[in-house]
């Protein structure tokens, strides 16, 4: 298929583009701020907030992978609200065969709300406070309405926290750029020496959370793209199981010969993402659990260790 990719210079986009080409698709990247350089990929320049640029980028396309996002700043209005609307309108006008939205489990509230049962695709949209989670609720809502009002063939892939390079290793070892939630220094108030962190509830139970490796996230796009069974559906995309901070911290400490530190973090909640629907309908079989993601992060540091310039908080 001829596929337009927005947010192509981001963490997921820069991995998705070569995978699309390898799978035989023709990819066009809508480039905004971050330069996109990928062999075999056509580049269009512009912002999703510019309706004219969107219409031009959609010419000759059959599918859209909408990855463009904004984190905790007011830019989400242009990117997530105006941009998603422009893309949906353009897809409706151009008869696009499939619109795939990269959503996030932040729309379900995850650690902010009590989650007594695994979160499946029928869980209510109930974002935690902040622009990013709110934007994901708005994007999903707009996609559903375009599917209902106009029959637009929409697929929503709802990702857990996507891990690439040494993201998870940075998170587990108090390293810059303090990527993800929580920021250890925010909750401890003090700098930590080198070590691996165990995040604990006030009753000393270790926290549990779900993530997903970037390679598995890319696989989910390839499984959904052009798949009739994916049209009109939402799929949770995560690792095969959540990880527990005590177990993962012990693994990191053993691998890197580090001490372990305990940090108590009140008022938040464990959560598990149910990926049964993606397994059954798409044939999604995640390959990377938290331990393999840590192994990949260590290999990354021991090879080049040069992080991509695209970083954002949240």
Per the structure, the complete domain to which residue 203 belongs is given by 163-209+241-271+287-302
> What would the mean pLDDT of 210-224 be, rounded to a whole number?
98
Quick check: 249 pLDDT over 50?
yes
Check residue 74 and give its pLDDT.
67
Question: What is the tally of structural domains in the chain?
Answer: 2
Q: Is residue 314 part of a domain?
A: no
- 289-300 pLDDT, tens per residue? 999 999 999 999
Paired residues of 212 in beta bridges: 162
Quick check: 288 pLDDT over 80?
yes
Q: Is residue 120 part of a domain?
A: yes
Q: CA 191 to CA 199: how far, in whole Å?
A: 16
Q: Is residue 278 part of a domain?
A: no
Q: Are 128 and 186 within one domain?
A: no
> What would the mean pLDDT of 89-111 be, rounded to a whole number?
96
Q: Is residue 310 part of a domain?
A: no
- Any idea which of 9-13, 199-203, 277-281, 304-308 has the lowest mean pLDDT? 304-308
- Locate 241 and state its tokens: 């199981």
Q: Are 117 and 183 within one domain?
A: no
127-132: long-range contacts, CB 8 A cutoff, minimum separation 24: 130/72, 130/106, 130/314, 131/70, 131/71, 131/72, 131/73, 131/74, 131/76, 132/69, 132/70, 132/71, 132/72, 132/76, 132/104, 132/106, 132/314
Check residue 184 and give its pLDDT.
75
Q: Is residue 281 part of a domain?
A: no
The separation between CA 237 and the C-alpha centre of its own chain, rounded to angstroms, equals 9
């Amino acid at each position: 298929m001829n596929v337009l990719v927005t947010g192509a210079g981001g963490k997921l986009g820069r991995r998705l583009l070569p995978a699309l080409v390898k799978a035989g698709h023709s990819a066009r990247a809508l480039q905004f701020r971050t330069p996109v350089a990928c062999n075999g990929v056509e580049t269009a320049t512009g912002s999703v907030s510019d309706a004219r640029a969107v219409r031009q980028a959609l010419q000759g396309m059959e599918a859209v992978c909408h990855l463009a996002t904004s984190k905790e700043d007011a830019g989400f209005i242009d990117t997530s609200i105006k941009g998603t609307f422009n893309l949906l309108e353009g897809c409706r006008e151009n008869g696009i065969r499939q619109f795939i939205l990269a959503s996030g489990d932040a729309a379900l509230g995850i650690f902010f709300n009590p989650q007594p049962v695994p979160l499946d695709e029928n869980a209510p949209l109930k974002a935690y406070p902040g622009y990013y989670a709110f934007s994901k609720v708005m994007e999903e809502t707009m996609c559903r309405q375009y599917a209902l009002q106009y029959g637009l063939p929409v697929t929503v892939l709802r990702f857990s926290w996507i891990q690439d390079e040494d993201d998870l290793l940075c998170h587990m070892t108090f390293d810059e750029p303090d990527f993800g939630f929580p920021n250890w220094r925010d909750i401890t108030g003090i700098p930590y020496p080198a070590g691996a962190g165990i995040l604990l509830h006030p009753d000393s139970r270790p926290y549990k959370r779900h993530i997903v490796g970037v390679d598995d996230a890319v696989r989910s796009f390839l499984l959904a793209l052009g798949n009739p069974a994916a049209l009109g559906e939402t799929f949770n995309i995560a690792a095969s199981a959540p990880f527990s901070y005590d177990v993962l911290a012990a693994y990191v400490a053993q691998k890197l010969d580090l001490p372990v530190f305990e940090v108590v973090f009140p008022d938040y909640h464990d959560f598990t993402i149910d990926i049964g629907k993606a397994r059954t309908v798409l044939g999604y079989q995640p390959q990377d659990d938290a331990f393999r993601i840590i192994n990949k992060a260590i290999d990354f540091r021991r090879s080049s260790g040069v992080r991509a310039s695209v970083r954002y908080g949240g």
